[in-house]
Amino acid sequence: MRRMLSFFLLLVSSKALFAAPFAYVTNYAGETVSIVDIGANATTGYVNTGSFTITNPVDVRFLPNGSKAYLVCDYSNAVFVIDAASNTITTQLNSTSFPFNAPVFIAITPDGTKAYVTNETGNNVTIIDTATDTITGYVNAGAFPFAFPIGVSFSADGSTAYVANYNGGNISIVDVATDTVTGYVNNGSFTLASPIYVTFDDNTTAYVNSYNSDSVAIIDFATNTITGFVNDSSFPFSLPGIVGRSSSLATGIITNLGSSEVSLFNPSTNIVTGNVSGSFNYPLKFWITADSSTAYIVNLGNNTVSIVDIATSTVTGLINDTAAVFDVPYAIDISGASPP
């Protein structure tokens, strides 16, 4: 994410094993991971890195059972395993045979058995066996090469992954059983300009942001075809970032880096219904609690994490980070929450 983050910074100058849900927030500039008590909406400390050095942590993702999380560090070309019970990094994945090259995003299959990590400048996708924490290879792109891949998302049934190719202007389709690219999503008459992130809504629909055309495309999963764009005529997008939805599928959220606004849309009609009430500062990644009540959105511009009440579409406060301050918070994941 080095190139993308440089641009962002220039603009600025889910079922847990644990009783109480908590979150990890990666601090890209601080090279730390804050631990957040979701019940208290406050940080409690940093993940213990032990003997490991983390450089520019860009993404973090819990296993569905909440037992551990994977931490992606782009500048050091490394992925680490965090033991969630002790909040301690226990392992750096051995990537000798299949090196990371600017790893930027990680997604985990719904059953928790496999993870994909996109490598921007490597133009490949790393496969991780989560049972053994070993890298088993790269996704076989074959005749459909990746081109600066960033976002990756798995379908609800775990059969398929989509990968957003920033330079290719397209979405790769991956057969998860064979770890093979079978083609590209059919854009039809709809152009993608620098797609960054892609998200499955359920097992019928996926969304991808067309970053440089200020639009969000809708993909029909059954046909692997873009069928149109989210209607934002009343509340226009501006450099849309992450697209996601509540686990109830009743509310969709889209962050806008250009306007520092957070859009709300109805996944049933794919129409933007308004913006979250409250202020943001270059909002990017977010996570929604398992009960679909609250969203937590990182703000690149002012080192905060906003708390959003989904029912009222209102910012209700900021996470108190006194115990473990944020420093360019980039990614957030909540143990036991559904992915956006």
Domain spans of the chain?
2-334
What is d(CA 207, CA 333) in angstroms, rounded to the nearest whole number? 20
User: Which positions ≥6 away from 131 have C-beta within 8 Å?
Assistant: 113
C-alpha to C-alpha distance for 277 and 288, rounded to whole angstroms: 17
pLDDT at 340: 64
What superfamily would CATH give domain 2-334? Answer: YVTN repeat-like/Quinoprotein amine dehydrogenase (2.130.10.10)
Query: Which residue has tokens 């921007």?
Result: 120
pLDDT at residue 336, as a whole number: 72
Strand partners, 57: 73
For 103-249, strand residue ranges (E) read: 103-108, 114-119, 124-129, 134-138, 149-154, 160-165, 170-175, 180-184, 195-200, 205-210, 215-220, 225-229, 240-245
State the pLDDT at residue 232: 96
Token representation of residue 93: 């994945």
How confident is the model at residue 2, as a pLDDT?
Answer: 54
Length of the chain: 340
Supply the DSSP symbol for 278. S
**CA neighbours closer than 13 Å in the CB half-sphere of residue 110:** 13
Q: Are 68 and 47 in contact (CB under 8 A)?
A: no
Structure tokens that stand for 151 in this block: 């976002």
**How far is 220 from 206, CA to CA, in rounded Å?**
7
Give residue 235's Cα distance to chain centre.
Answer: 23
- In angstroms, the CA 20 to CA 313 distance is 24
CB neighbourhood size of 178 (10 A): 10
User: 4, 196 in Cβ contact below 8 A?
Assistant: yes
Phi, psi of 127 (to 5 degrees): -105, 130
CA distance 146 to 105: 14
Find the helix or strand (DSSP H, E) in which 4 lies: helix 2-12
CA 258/CA 7 separation, integer angstroms: 11
Dmax of the chain from CA atoms?
52
Residue of 180, 187, 193 whose CA lies nearest to 146: 180
In tens digits, what is the pLDDT along the chain, a chain of 340 residues?
A: 555 554 444 444 333 333 468 999 999 999 999 999 999 999 999 999 999 999 999 999 999 999 999 999 999 999 999 999 999 999 999 999 999 999 999 999 999 999 999 999 999 999 999 999 999 999 999 999 999 999 999 999 999 999 999 999 999 999 999 999 999 999 989 999 999 999 998 889 999 999 999 999 999 999 999 999 999 999 999 999 998 887 766 789 999 999 999 999 999 999 999 999 999 999 999 998 888 889 999 999 999 999 999 999 999 999 999 999 999 999 999 987 656 6
Give the count of beta carbons closer than 10 Å to the beta carbon of residue 40. Answer: 12
Cβ distance 91 to 130 under 8 Å? no
Q: Please give the pLDDT value at position 19.
A: 44
3-state SS class at 257: coil
Helices (H), 60-200: none
85's tokens: 């019970």
